[in-house]
């Protein structure tokens, strides 16, 4: 009983930082509609900045002063990010901004590495709270008790700000209809900046306040990001009490998980989330999202059309050129292009779901990595030949997509996105923690192609045929009646329903199809590398695909593979440098600002302006 109670207290203490970060994310999303992927990075910055301040400032006042100052400084960094990176892209298509925030993650990672170095920092203990208290004979750190006491005050202050002050009223009004708030004379830009400051300051505060418990390291940003997303989704986007309750649930669960089921800690959190969303699709205290109903921005979408003769010839020529690579190029080029081709198919499969279906998935890596693991497991345990494994990979990934899609499609919008992320993480944690079967962190190795395909050249041609075929198949599907129905469901699900289209089923099929195609890419990936590790299922992998699709151009058919090719090639080049993340991050931000319609969309515009391409609509 004593141990139980002590663990409960630890959970409550851990909930503090989690709540602060989650409420900041929730606030920012509510007003700006930006899913701030970089929120974990602000949390990490809070820890590092706090650490440095604590070295300088002495005593009890110094410690708590450092925590507060860290929050303010991180808030100001958030303001800089908002003004320099996000303001230029508010008018871009919805969700495009999240690519920019991903760029911010990379930049902050490398800047932190530059300033504070790669060593993990051990957090200083809070002066005056270094001891432990015996509660029911169990030791409980004093600092934990302090955190348990402080968090409700932070929560109350936030609640007061949001419900009782004019600023809070404006924030809540803007959450619902920001265009109308502007028409009533409120300068939205400053409202946005203010909310960003507050949200980032909360994240920074969370990072600084947990220093005595967790210290500071370079993996903090992604580590907290998943929990924060889960908390926000369970609590309901935009709900402060929801965020608090969910933070407590998740933290307590984690503490108990560690002591009673150490192998399932990571899985538990997502299981809770899935269960909550099954019964309350918008979280415990959330409301249905009406994003985009008012204040829809950007010009209307163009109808997609089959490629003209010119483009077809161009593609054919490009394929021939690709086919010549093993003959002309070096062995390195062959391997690199194989990687790029595989990634292109993966990106194209997400593009299909996202662009054609409007289904924004944050967890597409589940099917890429899933396919990879299916193939690897069959080869390892059943000595399945490559040919069969390459068929089983998409089947396995497709089956997973059928199941995951069934659950995820009960939600829409950002909840859908979060659910897909949760499932991807669920798969990742399964693979990561179930080491006996999957090899855990060590992965599965020695998975090589059949003898006939074992040379790089033959495997290259195999990849070229399968990937080009897969991309063409996805393209073909977009032009088929199924593709029409899918776009109808995306653009106007009610009208589509009224016309007799079962929109949910169409989306489900699209989800499964895209999953299977990602599985094909995953299968090829295993055999090209000879091994697979859990990081193929990671969030970072899902985000890679997402970034690529947005950078390529969501509203174009070819955005996926064009973005994929550019991204992989650039990444391959940049990773040779020490601070490649910084360079890649800045590059991503630059593309987002300069080409808000993605590479393909912007090139097309440029072509039309210069007269190289005809605009079909003008001709009519």
Residues lying near other proteins in the complex (CB under 8 A) are found at 166, 169-170, 172-173, 175-177, 179-188, 287, 294, 299-300, 617
Strands 444-445 and 531-532: antiparallel
Do residues 135 and 12 lie in contact, with contact meaning Cβ atoms separated by under 8 Å?
no
d(CA 21, CA 60): 24
CB of 181 to other proteins, least distance (A): 6
Kindly tell me which of 178 and 529 has the beta carbon lying closer to other proteins. Answer: 178
CB of 279 to other proteins, least distance (A): 23
Q: Got the DSSP string for 436-458? A: HHH-GGG-EE-----GGG-SHHH
CB of 38 to other proteins, least distance (A): 27
Kindly tell me which of 153 and 190 has the beta carbon lying closer to other proteins. Answer: 190
CB of 186 to other proteins, least distance (A): 6
CB of 97 to other proteins, least distance (A): 19
Burial class (CB within 10 angstroms; exposed 0-12, middle 13-18, buried 19+) of 335: middle
Kindly tell me which of 191 and 462 has the beta carbon lying closer to other proteins. Answer: 191
Kindly tell me which of 138 and 177 has the beta carbon lying closer to other proteins. Answer: 177
Do residues 568 and 343 lie in contact, with contact meaning Cβ atoms separated by under 8 Å?
yes
CB of 189 to other proteins, least distance (A): 8
d(CA 78, CA 41): 10
Q: If phi over 0 gives left and psi between -120 and 50 gives alpha, with beta otherwise, what is residue 358?
A: left
Do residues 215 and 122 lie in contact, with contact meaning Cβ atoms separated by under 8 Å?
yes
Kindly tell me which of 142 and 602 has the beta carbon lying closer to other proteins. Answer: 602
CB of 187 to other proteins, least distance (A): 5
Kindly tell me which of 65 and 88 has the beta carbon lying closer to other proteins. Answer: 88
Q: Is the dihedral of CA 35, 237, 199, 162 positive or negative?
A: positive
CB of 246 to other proteins, least distance (A): 20
Using alpha carbons, select from 140, 130, 127 the residue that is nearest to residue 11: 140
Contacts of 472 (CB under 8 A, 6+ apart): none
Kindly tell me which of 39 and 178 has the beta carbon lying closer to other proteins. Answer: 178
Kindly tell me which of 184 and 594 has the beta carbon lying closer to other proteins. Answer: 184
Q: Got the DSSP string for 1-19? A: -HHHHHHHHHHHHHHHHHH
CB of 177 to other proteins, least distance (A): 6
Query: Helix, strand, coil shares of the chain as percentages rounded to 5?
Result: 75, 0, 20
Which 8-state DSSP code applies to residue 353? Answer: I
Kindly tell me which of 283 and 394 has the beta carbon lying closer to other proteins. Answer: 283
């Amino acid at each position: 009983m004593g141990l139980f109670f002590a663990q409960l207290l630890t959970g409550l203490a851990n909930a503090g930082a989690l709540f602060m970060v989650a409420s900041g994310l929730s606030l920012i999303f509510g007003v700006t509609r930006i899913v701030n992927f970089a929120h974990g990075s602000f949390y990490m910055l809070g820890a590092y900045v706090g650490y440095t301040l604590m070295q300088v400032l002495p005593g009890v006042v110094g410690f708590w002063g450092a925590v507060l100052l860290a929050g303010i400084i991180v808030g100001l960094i958030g303001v800089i990010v908002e003004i320099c990176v996000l303001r230029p892209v508010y008018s871009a298509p919805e969700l495009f901004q999240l690519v920019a925030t991903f760029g911010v993650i990379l930049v902050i990672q490398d800047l932190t590495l530059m300033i504070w170095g790669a060593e993990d920092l051990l957090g200083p203990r809070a002066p005056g709270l270094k001891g432990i208290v015996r509660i029911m004979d169990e030791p409980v750190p004093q600092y934990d008790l302090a955190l348990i006491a402080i968090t409700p005050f932070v929560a109350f202050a936030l609640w007061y700000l949001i419900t009782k002050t004019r600023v809070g009223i404006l924030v809540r009004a803007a959450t619902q209809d920001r265009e109308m708030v502007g028409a009533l004379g409120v300068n939205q830009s400053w409202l946005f900046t203010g909310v960003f400051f507050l949200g980032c300051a909360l994240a920074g505060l969370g990072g600084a306040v947990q220093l005595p418990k967790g210290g500071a390291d370079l993996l903090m940003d992604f580590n907290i990001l998943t929990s924060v997303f889960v908390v926000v989704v369970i609590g309901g986007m935009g709900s402060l009490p929801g965020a608090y309750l969910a933070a407590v649930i998740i933290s307590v669960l984690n503490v108990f998980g560690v002591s009673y089921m150490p192998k399932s800690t990571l899985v538990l959190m997502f299981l809770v989330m899935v269960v909550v969303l099954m019964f309350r699709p918008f979280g415990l205290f959330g409301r249905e999202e009406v994003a985009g109903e008012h204040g829809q921005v950007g010009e209307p979408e163009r109808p997609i059309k089959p490629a003209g003769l010119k483009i077809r010839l161009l593609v054919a020529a490009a394929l021939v050129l690709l086919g010549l690579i093993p003959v002309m190029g070096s062995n390195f080029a062959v391997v690199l292009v194989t990687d790029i081709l595989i990634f292109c198919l993966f990106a194209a499969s997400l593009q299909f779901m996202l662009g054609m279906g409007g289904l924004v998935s944050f967890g597409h890596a589940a099917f890429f990595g899933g396919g990879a693991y299916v193939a690897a497991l069959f080869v390892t345990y059943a000595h399945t030949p490559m040919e069969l494994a390459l068929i089983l990979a998409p089947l396995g990934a497709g089956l997973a997509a059928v199941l995951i899609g069934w659950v995820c499609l009960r939600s829409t919008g950002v909840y859908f996105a979060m659910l897909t992320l949760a499932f991807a993480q669920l798969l990742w944690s399964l693979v990561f923690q179930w080491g006996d079967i999957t090899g855990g962190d060590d992965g599965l190795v020695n998975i090589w192609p059949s003898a006939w395909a074992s040379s790089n050249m033959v495997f290259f041609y195999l990849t070229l045929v399968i990937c080009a075929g897969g991309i063409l198949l996805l393209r073909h599907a977009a032009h088929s009646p199924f593709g029409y129905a899918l776009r109808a469901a995306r653009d106007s699900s009610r009208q589509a329903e009224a016309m007799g289209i079962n929109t949910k089923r169409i989306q489900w099929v699209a989800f499964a199809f895209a999953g299977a195609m990602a599985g094909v890419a995953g299968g090829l990936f295993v055999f090209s590398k000879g091994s697979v590790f859990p990081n193929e299922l990671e969030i970072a992998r899902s985000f890679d695909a997402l970034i690529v699709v947005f950078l390529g151009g969501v509203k174009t058919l070819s955005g996926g593979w064009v973005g994929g090719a550019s991204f992989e090639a650039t990444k391959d080049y940049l990773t040779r440098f020490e601070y490649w993340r910084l360079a890649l991050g800045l590059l991503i931000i630059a593309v987002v600002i300069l080409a808000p319609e993605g590479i393909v969309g912007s090139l097309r515009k440029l072509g039309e302006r210069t007269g190289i391409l005809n605009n079909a609509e003008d001709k009519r």
